[in-house]
Amino acid sequence: MYRLLIRPILFKFDPEKVHHFTFSLIRFLHKIPFVGSLINSYYEVKSLKLEREVFGLKFKNPVGLAAGFDKDAKLYQELSNFGFGFIEIGTLTPKPQEGNPKKRLFRLQEDSAIINRMGFNNGGVEEAIIRLKKNNGVLIGGNIGKNKITPNEEAVNDYVICFEALFDYVDYFVVNVSSPNTPNLRELQEKEPLKALLNTLQNLNLKKNKPKPILLKIAPDLTNEQLLDIIEIVNETKIAGVIASNTTISREGLESANKSEMGGLSGKPLTNRSTEVIRFLSEKSNKSFPIIGVGGIHCAKDALEKLDAGASLIQLYTGFIYEGPKLIKEINKALLKKSSV
């Protein structure tokens, strides 16, 4: 129904407006009695066989919503009814910021892809916390970044502010240094600044009563040499794991008219590269840390490939837009089928 009826209508309109419209629609539907539980009973695949324990957390299934969709933690409760095992909010920055000028989100339909240059538009960490206080049991990842106006030399402070503020309200943290849409952000992926950033956060973390898993989200455009550095840094700083990957700056093999827009590319053109990164990290690290696999998952096969390559959990964004919420159910059903053969 989504691909045949809903998507063709939604895809006639501006992508960012559709995003806000869909949020309002989902919220409105959930105000009608029983609709939330109806959605949940249709989409959620419930089985003990889908449960995963990763970095000390218990996930009801391994399919999550990737960062950027619910940046401000406005809809995580309702979105979890579509069967996600966990929801990652953010990227949040200490202060609210507008992000880049519109238009900044583009569909590449011929390529089943999206280019975005949103630029961390968000209402700031404090505003998100007000909403997270109402969380009724959804497993939440908190993806954190720096404000655009903060120079890289002071970036650590921004991550610390977000980390401390969110600590009581999220289950795991993601340090985002891999968005291509904040000028110079990806320079923080260089060995020395990255070590300093992760060590600072991990030291604060270890002082807490119950430390929380900290993950690093990386770009798919890193070279093998840089990926080996990432393995070294993860092992040295003893953070919990890696999310591979963010959007790419590559434009290889694209056919759509919008292909030259600036920003990060997500969706099908990213499928193989992000799986390759997962496999490389998993093999070269001897599986010494968990990986969340994300990038171009548009069908159950794509998800299984990422898990086979070494991911412990997976996340969706662009596939959710193109294939609709049924994709979550399809992946979980395929996983169940696989576990029973």
154-169 b/e (C-beta count within 10 Å ≥ 16 → b): ebbebbbbbbebbbeb
Stretch that binds ligand FMN, among 65-73, 77-85, 159-167, 324-332 (CB under 6 A): 65-73
Residue 291 and residue 285: Cα distance in Å, rounded? 11
* Residue 166 neighbours by CB under 8 Å, 6+ apart: 92, 125, 128, 129, 132, 142, 144, 173
Stretch that binds ligand FMN, among 25-33, 194-202, 229-237, 265-273 (CB under 6 A): 265-273
User: Using the rule CB under 6 A, which residue among 26, 222, 277, 297 binds ligand FMN?
Assistant: 297
Q: Does 68 bind ligand FMN (CB under 6 A)?
A: yes
Q: Does 275 bind ligand FMN (CB under 6 A)?
A: no
CB nearer to ligand FMN: pick between 36 and 99: 99
Binding to ligand FMN in span 205-224, by CB under 6 A: 217
| Number of residues forming the site for ligand FMN (CB under 6 A) | 28
30-47 b/e (C-beta count within 10 Å ≥ 16 → b): beeeeebeebeeebbbee
Q: Please say if 112 is a catalytic residue.
A: no
The 3-state DSSP class for residue 117 equals coil
Closest by Cα among 135, 147, 20 to 78: 135
Write the binding mask 166 to 205 for ligand FMN: x where contact by CB under 6 A, - elsewhere. ----------x--x--------------------------
Q: Does 64 bind ligand FMN (CB under 6 A)?
A: no
User: Using the rule CB under 6 A, which residue among 247, 275, 285, 332 binds ligand FMN?
Assistant: 247
Query: Containing H/E element for 42?
Result: helix 35-43
Cβ neighbours of 224 (radius 10 Å): 11
CB nearer to ligand FMN: pick between 115 and 234: 115
* Residue 41 neighbours by CB under 8 Å, 6+ apart: none
Structure tokens at 52: 């995963």
User: Using the rule CB under 6 A, which residue among 45, 218, 277, 316 binds ligand FMN?
Assistant: 316
CB nearer to ligand FMN: pick between 176 and 237: 176
Residue 22 and residue 157: Cα distance in Å, rounded? 35
Q: Does 266 bind ligand FMN (CB under 6 A)?
A: yes
Which one from 80, 179, 274, 285 is the annotated catalytic residue?
A: 179
User: Using the rule CB under 6 A, which residue among 290, 296, 310, 325 binds ligand FMN?
Assistant: 296
Q: Does 94 bind ligand FMN (CB under 6 A)?
A: no
CB nearer to ligand FMN: pick between 62 and 90: 90
Query: Containing H/E element for 17?
Result: helix 15-31
Helical spans, DSSP H, in 154-253? 155-166, 191-206, 224-237
Stretch that binds ligand FMN, among 67-75, 162-170, 276-284, 323-331 (CB under 6 A): 67-75
CB hemisphere CA count around 287 (13 angstroms): 7
User: Using the rule CB under 6 A, which residue among 150, 205, 318, 332 binds ligand FMN?
Assistant: 318
Q: Where are the beta strands (DSSP E) in the chain?
A: 52-54, 57-59, 63-65, 86-92, 105-108, 113-116, 140-144, 172-176, 214-218, 241-244, 264-267, 291-294, 313-316
Residue 143 and residue 158: Cα distance in Å, rounded? 12
Q: Give min distance, CB of 114 to ligand FMN, in A.
A: 4
Residue of this chain nearest to ligand FMN (CB atom):
68
Q: Does 105 bind ligand FMN (CB under 6 A)?
A: yes
Contact residues toward ligand FMN (CB under 6 A) are 66-68, 71, 90-91, 105, 114, 116, 118, 120, 143, 176, 179, 217, 246-247, 266-267, 270, 294-297, 316-319
Q: Which residues are catalytic?
A: 179
